[in-house]
Amino acid sequence: MTQVIGSEAVVKVCDALESQTKQALEEMKISHDQFSAVAIALEGENDAAKVQELRKALQSVLTHESELNCHIEALSAFRNRYSCTTEKTDFKNVHHQGQAMEGEEDEELLVDPTQGHVFKNPKCPLSGRDIEELDDPVE
């Protein structure tokens, strides 16, 4: 049996996830000041090794912030494009090697089986799992 989720439910879930992600981003941005304060203190103690470790940690935080921003964009795009349907989507049998995907002809996205996937976003924006790994993708 195909599970169909109404558009209102999808919007509600996407809004909740987006809100939680934005809160996490705000907390990460607050940490920037803490990183700076600790780095200044460590520089005052001439502890270059610890300052370098702190820089690497900050770079990791910035990388995660970027990933979370991409997650927010994916949720937003999904929420805006989702339409309730009973038609099942076959994610594993798309065969358009070397052709632009329908609706995305202007983008530089081509179907290439050597990439392991043919989707702009190979992960489910809600669960974060690979689309090909989903047992029963929600329509």
Considering the entire predicted model, what is its pTM?
0.53
Say how far apart CA 16 and CA 137 lie, in whole Å. Answer: 20
Looking at residue 16, its pLDDT comes to 93
For residue 47 the two structure tokens come to 């502890």
Interval 6-15 mean pLDDT: 84
Interval 65-77 mean pLDDT: 91
pLDDT digits (tens, 9 = 90+) for 85-120: 777 767 666 555 556 556 655 444 444 444 443 445
What 8-state DSSP symbol labels residue 102? T
Tokens 């103690």 locate to: 45
The whole-chain average pLDDT of the chain stands at 76
On the CB side of 73, how many CA atoms lie within 13 Å of its CA?
8
* Confidence check: pLDDT of 9 > 80: yes
Q: Which of 124, 31, 131, 135 is nearest to 71 (CA)?
A: 124
